[in-house]
Structure 1
């Protein structure tokens, strides 16, 4: 089977409108410990209730396979402004994501 070709789909799920806004990282080929080092921005309407869903996928020739995900609120990010934490991947046999999140007002 070999090493995965992981990529991440980030989704901002807005509490009030139920809208979903998505961004996707690049694929890191054949890597169990990828470092995407990419920046994405979201317009947050309700920082206390909007959620960020981070899903990890394995790209393959005929599509993609789900690896796992983490769901986080933005409360700590808003309070601290600059926030880094490791999150365990739910649904995965093992694994975690280290995320660095920043909050700034427009």
Structure 2
């Protein structure tokens, strides 16, 4: 049995705008138990309906082959703010993917060029 050259594609599918944000990890060559240790930031518009799709692929001599995927809702990470879990890969016999997810609140940017004086009276 040969070793694989896996990489992961992470897609945040936005419910409201139908837009997607996609990131790809580096390829880990000749490995059956890869560890990517990479972090990616996603802007979540609708935490209850946006989903994170995580797909594992193998880059081989004759092209790229699908290995498995998991689809995650974001409600748990929003409620707990941080958690780590093993997710079973659909399409793979016995593989799983361990993810560390963290919810981060970012400040809202206000453009001072659009501020107008408020008159009360």
Q: Which has the higher strand share?
A: 1
TM-score, normalised to structure 2, is 0.85
The separation in 2 between residues aligned to 1:82 and 1:100, in whole angstroms, is 7
The separation in 1 between residues aligned to 2:33 and 2:81, in whole angstroms, is 27
Q: Any unmatched runs of 5+ in structure 2?
A: 107-121
Q: Answer 1 or 2: higher relative contact order, Cα 8 Å, separation at least 6.
A: 1
Which residue pairs with 1:44 in the alignment?
44
Give, in angstroms, the shift of residue 61 of structure 1: 2.6
Which residue pairs with 2:32 in the alignment?
32
Larger Rg: 2
Summarize the alignment of residues 5-84 of structure 1 with structure 2, pairs less than 5 Å apart: 5-84=5-84
Q: Any unmatched runs of 5+ in structure 1?
A: none
Segments ≥4 residues shifted beyond 2 Å: none
2:34 is the counterpart of 1:2: no
Structural RMSD (CA):
0.9
TM-score, normalised to structure 1, is 0.96
The separation in 2 between residues aligned to 1:81 and 1:10, in whole angstroms, is 19
How many residues are aligned here? Answer: 106
The farther-off stretch of 57-66 and 45-54 is: 57-66
